[in-house]
Structure 1
Amino acid sequence: MYHTIRVAAYEPDPLHGPWREEMRVLRLGEELHTELTRMYAEAEMGSVRPDRLPVRRLNSLLQAMAPGVIATGRNAGTDGRLPWLYAREAVPPEVLAPVIGTWASGMYREEDDTEGADLEERLRSDDPAEAVQLPHWEAESVDLAETVTSAGGTAEPAARLYSLLPEWVAFRLAARTFRTGGTTLHFRVESSGNGARLVSWPPQRYGRRGQTWYYSGCLNITVHTVPFAPRFRVHVSTQVRRWATQLDVRPHQLGGATVLLDAPLPWPGGPDRGHRLMANTLGYDRRLKELAWRHHSPAPLVPELDIVRNYPQPEALFSHPERWINGSGDVAAGIVYHPSIGPHEVGPGLMPQERADLDAWVEEGLRPMLTRVPDLTRVTRSNTPSLLPRSGVGRGPGVRDAQLALQRRAALARALAGRPLEIDVFWQSPETRAALLAELPKLIGFPPGERVVPADDDTWRWRGEGIEIRVRARPAGPLADALPISRERRRPRAVRLAEAVEGRCRLVADRVVPRPDAAGVVITEIADKERFAAVLDSDPKHALRIAWARQGRLSQFVNLPDGTDNGLEHRARWTWLDAFRQLGAISPPAHRVGAGVPGDLQYVALWLVRHTRKGPTRRPVRRLVAVRVRPGNGGPGVIEGWNAERAEWVPYPKLLLLLSQAVEPVAEADTGAPGDGAAARGGLRPAARPGVEQHRQGETERQIRALLFQLRDRPTLLLADAGNLRQCWPGLRNGELDRDMLGFGTEPAQRHTLYGDGLRVVLVRDANAREEVAEWYAHDAKGRVGFAEGVWGTAETESRVFASTASKPHTVAKLPKGLMKLAPTAQGRTAPGKTAWNPGQLEITVLGCLSEKALADSGREGDLPDRPAEWATLTHQLRYHDDYPPLARPLPLHLARLAGEYVLPVAGTKEKGSTSSAP
């Protein structure tokens, strides 16, 4: 058993002293900014934000083609006085001018605007400084450890470090080679919206099935904060990046693939030559009806700067990706692989030993400015709750399965409360129908069902222990067909999709006669979403969920077998378990924490559902979901959801049906999810109307406060995913956190016990798409590395931040921990084809508990204070339920997040459909 885990995170070393780097800084300048803004505003009549220059393409072009440029500053498109470029040395005007001119010309060319061409010509003149006043480079000493400490004790880096520091780290590491197992890897820098990446280049090769497959090692570098930590951190995560060599899709099915372009600089001299890969997006342009460079890609501008070399055109790259990944002359390009474009024989992921080797290489390269954060050690031996015993010696075969079945029956009987359970199975393959009928009695410990005779179709029944279940199996027929989406492109997509949804709802209404006295679930077998990719919005899954909900029925889906599927029994099992979860027939685990946890504790989880216009029904909406779990005394618990409209708790299945009812969508821009880091400050995004975002936040915070006052009757553990909820509750951002305090809106934070004497508040956070939580691996004093599950923390007794790690999946258990994919050994030639998976770290922050200070502030000095580690352990143990693999989040949060699948607003409808006979 490992007793220590190491995280791939680094912080400024306080022993190093001040960390300043001499750089050249360039501002866009008032004259050039004004000129470009005027031209852009005229070309974009009616634009929501004409004061924002679209500089993303220019930034990418400068980073790739201007020697010495390290990073681009944020918001330079809004204010010419802000720092725009950071470089090791000044870029000469004869280099800078053509790049800006080419970008300006490309920005206005589609508008047939001659001003862009004129500006380009002036900037390309013999004396660019006289054409339009080019900005001047300034020398500046930049503090790469610049930090502001919040009132709660969280160190926050200066805003520019979120983009500048990852680039600096990437270039420092790219100047070194990585040697392992006789293989030498060279890395290139790829800039990303949230940081920087290192990609090994040229790619590695793996021969399999008579074909060559390409892949690279990839390191993601980002800057983040940790609640109450005295220094910010640099996270470095590792992965395998695979390259597409054949695309099993048609051009019109390619929504957007990342393409990295390797092109030499067209100018002589300068530093950092050959260290960059230029990121672009290749996709089908439905307006032009052809493949094109999309999303501000700089690729179409490069040939204008370098007329000598041959650069890939979108159609040629799509048709012959392997030719371009091997290069044409000294130009190469690689399409980043995605599963939607076909199979790949290289497996994703790296095993612990290889990640540890890369991590050691990173640590050596960052000394002495950055040092590794301290290792974490176990804080408890109670890693799992009181799970049912395993079958083994002295217990007889199947003991665990029998006890699990008994537990499920009790939970199902409690959820049904004496009502019969009506289940409709709409199948497309006989194998799926047979697997579903076979797995149901196994899960609840019933004998094979009896067939109902006479019956119009395939109907089976089970009775016993207060449970009555009827399963009616019928062919799906047209129910599972693709939605017929109108091709009238003059009308909004949301409206055309809504019409198709209404048509499927009418079809469903003709197939089922709901029974008001019964709980109802429908299981439908449908094709995988990739099979509907040819026609946008034609996947019927969400339409069927809406349709069944209008009939008062919950819905669950199972995919068609793919011809090589030997896990049908496994998928049928999880289909039923998910159906039980929707019925609320689920029991929270009995914890093994100790007497510090009140016996009548209830769990409440909050989750924000947020769909943009790219959501499942093409309608934007925000909805706060709250789920309450009250563990039973030795029996099944009670699962409920909060009905905000009527201010009452309702059974969980009724909550799902209520969420499915159409709600008035909110008008909002398609913005990303703000976070604690680069994403919180990043980029130029379309903004919502002034005051709209503040109104939404205020309304959500009002709902949360009202909910908290409804929970004051008993001890409560409030669980929230910080990465999800801080979008509408800014007080959960790391820089706003303070121990045992809750902040709402602009009001000063108050002690959390004002919302309940027995309230505890725990925040969780995973890596998400921004790498907010660092990667990890277990290690020991003998140099061995591997996996470990448990709760981990620092040696500080008052620490509030912990790590929760779960067990590895059974598929990884068979792989050696020392498997090397980037440098396969003679004994492991097939190593690149293996799929490696590493359990993620769930960060647990005990924000509010009954600490000594909290008790004193509440006038309860004589009470025994909480131990934060116990509440972190309780949160960790809530990830274990039944015989599921450990959940990504605690069970109450898992239930709240999945409830969001029923939030499906439809365009042009308000409370449409027939009345629901909700359970």
Structure 2
Amino acid sequence: MYHRIRVAAYEPDPLHGPWREEMAVLRLGEDLHAGLTRMHAEADQDSVHPNRLPVRGLNSLLQAMAPGVIATGRNAGTDGRMPWLYARETVPPDVLAPVVGAWAAGLYREDDDTEGAGPEERLRCGDPAGTVCLPRWETESVDLAESVISAGGTAEPAARLYGLLPEWIAFRLAARSFRTGGAALRFRVESPGDGARLVSWPPQRYERRGRTWYYSACLTITVHTVPFAPRFRVHVSTQVRRWATRLDVRPHQLGGATVLLDAPLPWPGGPDRNHRLMVNTLGYDRRSKKLAWRRHSPAPLVPGLDIVRDYPRPEALFSDPERWIDGSGDVAAGLVHHPSLGPHEVGPGLMPRERADLDAWVEEGLRPLLTRVPDLTRVSRSNTPSLLPRSGAGRVPGVRDARLALQRRAALARALNGRPLEIDVLWQSPETVTALLAELPRLIGLPAGQGAPSAGGETWQWQYEGVDIRVRARPAGPLADALPISRGRGRLRAVRLAEAVEGRCRLVAERADPLLDGAGVVITEIAGKERFAAVPDSDPEHALRIAWARQGRLSQFVDSPDDSGSGLEHRARWTWLDAFRQLGAISPPAHRVGAGIPGDLQYAALWLVRHTRKGPTRCPVHRLVAVRVRPEDGPGVVEGWDAERAEWVPYPKLLLLLSQAREPVASGGKETGTGQLVDGSAATGGGRPAARPGVEQDRQRETERQIRALLFQLRDRPTLLLADAGNLRQCWPGLRNGALHRDMLGFGTGPAQRHTLYGHDLRLLLVRDADARGEVAQWYAHDTDGAVGLAEGVWGTADPEGRVFGSTASKPHTVAELPKGLMKLVPTARGRTAPGKTAWNPGQLEVTVLGCLSGKALADSGRADDPPDRPAEWATLAHQLRHHDDYPPLARPLPLHLARLAGEYVLPVAGPS
């Protein structure tokens, strides 16, 4: 058993002293910024933000083509006085001017009088970059460890370090090669805009099935804060970057694929040569009806700067990506693989040994400026709940499954409360029905022979120990067909989708039988999502969920056999378990934490559903979902908050209520082929719409008002409130790391208050995972003998009063066991097929005990004689709540899991404006 884990996180070394680097800094200047902004406004009169200069494309071009440029400053597009470029040395004007000119020329309309002129000619034709002198470079001493300590004790880095420091670190690491297995990997810098990446280049090759598959090592570098930590962190995560060499999609199905362009600098001399890969996006443009470079890609501007070399055109790269990854002349391009592009024989992920080796290489490269954060050690040996039976050697066969079936049946009986359960199975393949009917009695322990089909052969019924289940199987017919989406270009996608949803609702209403007094679930077999990719919005799943909810039915979906990578038995099992969850037939496990946890504790969880106009129904919505779980109660053990009626309702009723929303949509604008209204009032497929002034503040105030009202409803007994900080902090800014105070809650602009004012026995836990930004660092377990691997448990620092813990789960039984020392980047002779393996590593869930009854909190509340809480016990409770039934360990504690999944029913459809 491992007793410590190591996280791939680093912090400024306090023993090193001040960390200052001399850099060349360039500001746009007010004159040039004003001129370029004016030209942009004239060229794009339909712009949502006419006063905001679109410098993202220029930044990408400069980072790739201007030698020495390290990073671009934030907000340079809104304020010319802000630092714009950071470089190791000044970039000569004869290099900088053509780059700025090439970008500025792209701001003109296609019918401009200067069309056809080169960048320098356009500068002389009135481009502000040619009439206003380029600003002068300045030398600035930049503190790369600059930070302030918040009132709550959290170190917050200077804003510019979020972009500047990852780039600086990436260049420092790229100057060295990584040696492993007798080979050396060289890295290039990729600047995606939210940190920096290192990509090994050229890619590795893996021969399989008569083809060559390409892949690279990829390191992502980001800057983050940790609650109450005295120094900010730099996270370095490692993964495999796979490259597409054959696309199993048609051009119109390519929504947006990342392309990294490797091109030599067209200028002689200068630092950082051949260290960059230029980030571009390739996708189908529905206006021009052809493939194009999208999203501020610099690729279309590069040929204007370098007329000698041959650069890939979108259609050529799409038709033969392998040719370009091998290189054409001294230009190469790699199209990043995504599962939607087809299969790939290289498996994702790296195993712990290889990740540890990369981590050691990073640590060596960052000394002495950054030092590794201390290892985390175990704070508890109680990893799983007491009533969750575990399989293993020596167990009596069948006992574990029997105990789990008994627990499920008892939970189902409590949730039904004497009502029959009516289930409709709408099938497209007979084998799916067979698998579902075979798995149901096994899951809840029904004796053999209890299921009896009716005379017509369509209905089965089980009655056993208070559970009455009736299952009727019917062909799905046209209900599972693709939605017929109108192609009218003059109307919003949300409106056209709403019409298709209403049509499917009418079809469902014609086939639905009225329920008597039973709970109802409809299980529908539908094709996989890729079957509907050719026609956007045609997937019927969300429409069917809305339609059945209007009939008072819950809904669950199962993929057709041809569209699923898992076996029928596996899919049938999870279909039933998810159906039981929707019925509220689920209870938190009995914990093994200790006497410090109150016996009458209730759990509450908050989840904010946020859909943009790219959401499932093309309607934006912000909706707070609250779930309450009372472990020892009878019927209605899982409940949700009905905000309209201000009452707690059974979880199934909450789901049906959430599905009833309708949203007005803006009218009066004409939608273009990309989904952008030309008057800028809304956007469904392009950029973000212009928000009404103060709308975010209104959402924040309303969300915080609802949370305070909910806390008042939970004051009657000890309560553990669970929230996901990354999910809620947008509408509850008091959950930002820099705003946190131990045992205090902050709302609005007022000062934080004691959390016990909102509940005499309230505890509040915040959880956070890595998400797409890598907010929580990767990890691996290790021991004093040099062995590395994986470990399950709760981890913390040596501080007994520490509030931040790590929760790591065991490997799911569905994941294949692989050697911890498997090497994929440079396979050994015995592991020639190693690149084809999928390496699974569990993420770390960060648990912050924000509010508990600490000694200070009790003293401030006049309860100094009460025994104080131990924060580690509450973190252990959150960890144990991730284990339920026969599920693999949940990504979040069970109550929060239930609140998040309730969001699947928040499906607003467009209504009249």
Query: Do residues 642 (structure 1) and 641 (structure 2) align?
Result: yes
Q: For the residues of structure 1 that align with 2:449 and 2:904, how far apart are their CA atoms?
A: 31
Query: What residue in structure 2 maps to residue 825 of structure 1?
Result: 828
CA change 1:386–1:269 in 2 (3 A) is: same
CA change 1:49–1:209 in 2 (3 A) is: same
After superposition, where does 1:94-243 map in structure 2 within 5 Å? 94-110=94-110, 112=112, 114=114, 120-121=120-121, 123=123, 131-243=131-243
Give the counterpart letter for 1:771 in structure 2: G
Q: For the residues of structure 2 that align with 1:365 and 1:799, how far apart are their CA atoms?
A: 30
Query: What residue in structure 1 maps to residue 896 of structure 2?
Result: 893
CA contact (8 A) 2:606 2:626 kept: yes
Q: Which residue of the other structure, out of 787, 791, 794, is the alignment partner of 1:791?
A: 794
Query: What residue in structure 1 maps to residue 704 of structure 2?
Result: 701
Q: For the residues of structure 2 that align with 1:120 and 1:894, how far apart are their CA atoms?
A: 58
Query: What residue in structure 2 maps to residue 377 of structure 1?
Result: 377
Deviations 1:653-674 (A, max 9, x none): 0000000002336889xxxxxx
Report how far residue 42 of structure 1 moved.
1.7
Report how far residue 365 of structure 1 moved.
0.1
Query: What residue in structure 2 maps to residue 815 of structure 1?
Result: 818
Report how far residue 803 of structure 1 moved.
0.2
What secondary structure is seen at the aligned counterpart in 1 of 2:107?
Answer: helix
Q: For the residues of structure 1 that align with 2:115 and 2:140, how far apart are their CA atoms?
A: 34
CA change 1:308–1:518 in 2 (3 A) is: same
CA contact (8 A) 1:102 1:304 kept: yes
Query: What residue in structure 2 maps to residue 41 of structure 1?
Result: 41
Q: For the residues of structure 2 that align with 1:71 and 1:279, how far apart are their CA atoms?
A: 14
After superposition, where does 1:434-833 map in structure 2 within 5 Å? 434-448=434-448, 454-456=454-456, 458-562=458-562, 565=565, 567-632=567-632, 638-664=637-663, 688-810=691-813, 812=815, 814-833=817-836
What secondary structure is seen at the aligned counterpart in 2 of 1:95?
Answer: helix
CA change 1:718–1:100 in 2 (3 A) is: same
Report how far residue 127 of structure 1 moved.
14
Q: For the residues of structure 1 that align with 2:616 and 2:389, how far apart are their CA atoms?
A: 42
CA contact (8 A) 2:745 2:755 kept: yes
Give the counterpart letter for 2:15 in structure 1: L
Query: What residue in structure 1 maps to residue 670 of structure 2?
Result: none
List runs of 5+ in structure 2 lacking aligned partners.
668-686
Query: What residue in structure 2 maps to residue 3 of structure 1?
Result: 3
Q: For the residues of structure 2 that align with 1:566 and 1:440, how far apart are their CA atoms?
A: 18
Q: For the residues of structure 2 that align with 1:128 and 1:402, how far apart are their CA atoms?
A: 77
| Cα RMSD (Å) | 2.0
Report how far residue 194 of structure 1 moved.
1.2
Query: What residue in structure 2 maps to residue 903 of structure 1?
Result: 906
Report how far residue 193 of structure 1 moved.
2.0
Query: What residue in structure 2 maps to residue 303 of structure 1?
Result: 303
Q: For the residues of structure 1 that align with 2:538 and 2:564, how far apart are their CA atoms?
A: 25
Identical aligned residues as a percent: 84
Report how far residue 514 of structure 1 moved.
2.5
Report how far residue 413 of structure 1 moved.
0.5
Q: For the residues of structure 2 that align with 1:253 and 1:652, how far apart are their CA atoms?
A: 38
Q: For the residues of structure 2 that align with 1:116 and 1:602, how far apart are their CA atoms?
A: 70
What secondary structure is seen at the aligned counterpart in 2 of 1:494?
Answer: helix
Q: For the residues of structure 2 that align with 1:8 and 1:203, how far apart are their CA atoms?
A: 24
CA change 1:334–1:150 in 2 (3 A) is: same
CA change 1:143–1:220 in 2 (3 A) is: same
What secondary structure is seen at the aligned counterpart in 2 of 1:748?
Answer: coil
Report how far residue 727 of structure 1 moved.
1.2
CA change 1:563–1:453 in 2 (3 A) is: closer
CA change 1:871–1:117 in 2 (3 A) is: farther
Q: For the residues of structure 2 that align with 1:510 and 1:686, how far apart are their CA atoms?
A: 38
CA contact (8 A) 2:105 2:122 kept: no
CA change 1:22–1:506 in 2 (3 A) is: same
Query: What residue in structure 2 maps to residue 83 of structure 1?
Result: 83
CA contact (8 A) 1:641 1:649 kept: yes
Give the counterpart letter for 1:693 in structure 2: E
Query: What residue in structure 2 maps to residue 270 of structure 1?
Result: 270
What secondary structure is seen at the aligned counterpart in 2 of 1:71?
Answer: strand
Q: For the residues of structure 1 that align with 2:394 and 2:238, how far apart are their CA atoms?
A: 45
CA contact (8 A) 2:452 2:462 kept: no
CA change 1:472–1:564 in 2 (3 A) is: closer
Deviations 1:222-274 (A, max 9, x none): 00000000000000000000000100000000000000000000000000000
CA contact (8 A) 1:411 1:637 kept: no
CA contact (8 A) 1:3 1:377 kept: yes
Deviations 1:599-645 (A, max 9, x none): 00000000000000000000000000000000017x88800000000
What secondary structure is seen at the aligned counterpart in 2 of 1:108?
Answer: coil
Query: What residue in structure 2 maps to residue 343 of structure 1?
Result: 343
CA change 1:327–1:541 in 2 (3 A) is: same
Q: For the residues of structure 1 that align with 2:720 and 2:666, how far apart are their CA atoms?
A: 34
CA contact (8 A) 2:640 2:651 kept: yes
Deviations 1:727-781 (A, max 9, x none): 1100000000000000000011000000011000000000001000000000000
Give TM-score scaled by structure 1 length: 0.95
Give the counterpart letter for 1:305 in structure 2: L
What secondary structure is seen at the aligned counterpart in 1 of 2:911?
Answer: coil
CA contact (8 A) 2:144 2:161 kept: yes
Give the counterpart letter for 2:21 in structure 1: E
Q: For the residues of structure 2 that align with 1:457 and 1:112, how far apart are their CA atoms?
A: 72
With 443-452 and 524-533 compared, the bigger mean Cα shift is at 443-452
List runs of 5+ in structure 1 lacking aligned partners.
669-683, 911-919
Give the counterpart letter for 1:581 in structure 2: R
Query: What residue in structure 1 maps to residue 416 of structure 2?
Result: 416
What secondary structure is seen at the aligned counterpart in 1 of 2:663?
Answer: coil
What secondary structure is seen at the aligned counterpart in 2 of 1:343?
Answer: coil
Report how far residue 853 of structure 1 moved.
0.6
CA contact (8 A) 1:611 1:619 kept: yes
Q: For the residues of structure 1 that align with 2:536 and 2:287, how far apart are their CA atoms?
A: 15
CA contact (8 A) 2:428 2:525 kept: yes
With 651-660 and 501-510 compared, the bigger mean Cα shift is at 501-510
CA change 1:54–1:113 in 2 (3 A) is: farther
Give the counterpart letter for 1:364 in structure 2: E
Query: Do residues 851 (structure 1) and 854 (structure 2) align?
Result: yes
What secondary structure is seen at the aligned counterpart in 2 of 1:627?
Answer: strand
With 272-281 and 423-432 compared, the bigger mean Cα shift is at 423-432
CA contact (8 A) 2:415 2:635 kept: no
Query: What residue in structure 2 maps to residue 917 of structure 1?
Result: none
Give the counterpart letter for 2:654 in structure 1: L
CA contact (8 A) 1:19 1:144 kept: yes
Query: What residue in structure 2 maps to residue 678 of structure 1?
Result: none
Report how far residue 333 of structure 1 moved.
0.3
CA change 1:408–1:31 in 2 (3 A) is: same
Give the counterpart letter for 2:758 in structure 1: Y
Query: What residue in structure 2 maps to residue 671 of structure 1?
Result: none
With 785-794 and 122-131 compared, the bigger mean Cα shift is at 122-131
CA change 1:108–1:456 in 2 (3 A) is: farther
Report how far residue 133 of structure 1 moved.
1.2
Deviations 1:198-239 (A, max 9, x none): 000000000000000000000000000000000000000000
Q: For the residues of structure 2 that align with 1:449 and 1:366, how far apart are their CA atoms?
A: 67
What secondary structure is seen at the aligned counterpart in 1 of 2:827?
Answer: coil
Report how far residue 562 of structure 1 moved.
2.3
Give TM-score scaled by structure 2 length: 0.96
What secondary structure is seen at the aligned counterpart in 2 of 1:277?
Answer: strand
Deviations 1:376-409 (A, max 9, x none): 0000111111133346788632111111111111
Give the counterpart letter for 2:658 in structure 1: L
Q: For the residues of structure 1 that align with 2:568 and 2:417, how far apart are their CA atoms?
A: 31
CA change 1:133–1:115 in 2 (3 A) is: farther
